[in-house]
Protein backbone atom coordinates (compact mmCIF):
# COMPACT_ATOMS: atom_id res chain seq x y z
CA UNK A 1 0.00 0.00 0.00
CA UNK A 2 1.35 3.44 -0.90
CA UNK A 3 1.29 6.47 1.33
CA UNK A 4 -1.78 8.62 1.03
CA UNK A 5 -1.81 12.40 0.84
CA UNK A 6 -4.19 14.42 2.94
CA UNK A 7 -4.76 17.32 0.59
CA UNK A 8 -6.51 19.47 3.19
CA UNK A 9 -3.28 19.61 5.20
CA UNK A 10 -1.24 20.92 2.30
CA UNK A 11 -1.45 24.69 1.74
CA UNK A 12 -0.70 24.05 -1.95
CA UNK A 13 1.38 27.17 -2.25
CA UNK A 14 4.95 25.94 -2.64
CA UNK A 15 7.12 23.45 -4.52
CA UNK A 16 6.90 20.19 -2.57
CA UNK A 17 10.26 19.12 -1.10
CA UNK A 18 9.00 15.58 -0.72
CA UNK A 19 9.05 15.14 -4.48
CA UNK A 20 12.82 15.59 -4.43
CA UNK A 21 13.52 13.17 -1.59
CA UNK A 22 11.36 10.33 -2.85
CA UNK A 23 13.90 7.69 -3.88
CA UNK A 24 11.63 5.98 -6.37
CA UNK A 25 10.18 8.97 -8.19
CA UNK A 26 6.71 8.06 -6.97
CA UNK A 27 5.69 11.63 -6.26
CA UNK A 28 4.78 14.28 -8.77
CA UNK A 29 3.38 17.76 -8.43
CA UNK A 30 1.35 19.90 -10.80
CA UNK A 31 2.39 23.48 -10.11
CA UNK A 32 2.06 24.13 -6.39
CA UNK A 33 -0.83 21.73 -5.91
CA UNK A 34 -0.65 18.90 -3.39
CA UNK A 35 1.58 16.14 -4.74
CA UNK A 36 0.20 12.88 -6.02
CA UNK A 37 1.64 9.44 -5.45
CA UNK A 38 2.14 6.72 -8.04
CA UNK A 39 1.04 3.61 -6.17
CA UNK A 40 3.08 1.39 -8.46
CA UNK A 41 6.33 3.11 -7.48
CA UNK A 42 5.83 3.85 -3.78
CA UNK A 43 7.70 1.55 -1.42
CA UNK A 44 6.36 3.04 1.82
CA UNK A 45 9.85 4.17 2.81
CA UNK A 46 8.60 7.21 4.71
CA UNK A 47 11.11 9.72 3.33
CA UNK A 48 8.35 12.05 2.15
CA UNK A 49 6.81 12.12 5.62
CA UNK A 50 10.06 13.26 7.19
CA UNK A 51 10.25 16.47 5.18
CA UNK A 52 6.62 17.56 5.10
CA UNK A 53 6.05 20.17 7.82
CA UNK A 54 2.28 19.76 7.63
CA UNK A 55 2.15 15.98 8.12
CA UNK A 56 0.23 15.69 4.86
CA UNK A 57 1.50 12.17 4.20
CA UNK A 58 -0.13 9.25 5.92
CA UNK A 59 1.50 5.85 6.02
CA UNK A 60 -0.83 3.04 5.10
CA UNK A 61 -1.77 0.73 7.93
S1 LIG B 1 5.84 19.29 1.85
FE2 LIG B 1 3.77 18.79 2.59
S3 LIG B 1 2.76 20.77 2.79
FE4 LIG B 1 4.53 21.08 1.44
S5 LIG B 1 3.76 20.77 -0.66
FE6 LIG B 1 4.54 18.79 0.07
S7 LIG B 1 2.73 17.77 0.89
FE8 LIG B 1 2.23 19.94 0.76
S1 LIG C 1 6.88 6.62 1.07
FE2 LIG C 1 8.87 6.73 0.03
S3 LIG C 1 8.51 5.85 -2.01
FE4 LIG C 1 6.51 6.36 -1.15
S5 LIG C 1 6.06 8.42 -1.93
FE6 LIG C 1 7.03 8.64 0.10
S7 LIG C 1 9.23 8.91 -0.33
FE8 LIG C 1 8.27 8.07 -2.19
Q: What digits encode the pLDDT tens for the residues 15-51?
A: 999 999 999 999 999 999 999 999 999 999 999 999 9
Cβ 35 under 6 angstroms from ligand 1: yes
- 3-state DSSP assignment of residue 40: coil
Nearest CA to ligand 2 atom 2: 45
How sure is the predictor about 13, in pLDDT bands with cuts at 50, 70 and 90?
Answer: very high
Instruction: Considering every ligand atom shown, identify the ligand nearest to the alpha carbon of residue 1 and give its number.
Output: 2
Q: Which CATH architecture has domain 4-58?
A: 2-Layer Sandwich (3.30)
Q: Where are the domains of the chain?
A: 4-58
- What is the secondary structure of 4-22 as a DSSP string? EE-GGG----S--HHHHH-
Amino acid sequence: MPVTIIESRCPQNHPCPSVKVCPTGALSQDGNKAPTVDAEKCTDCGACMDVCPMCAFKMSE
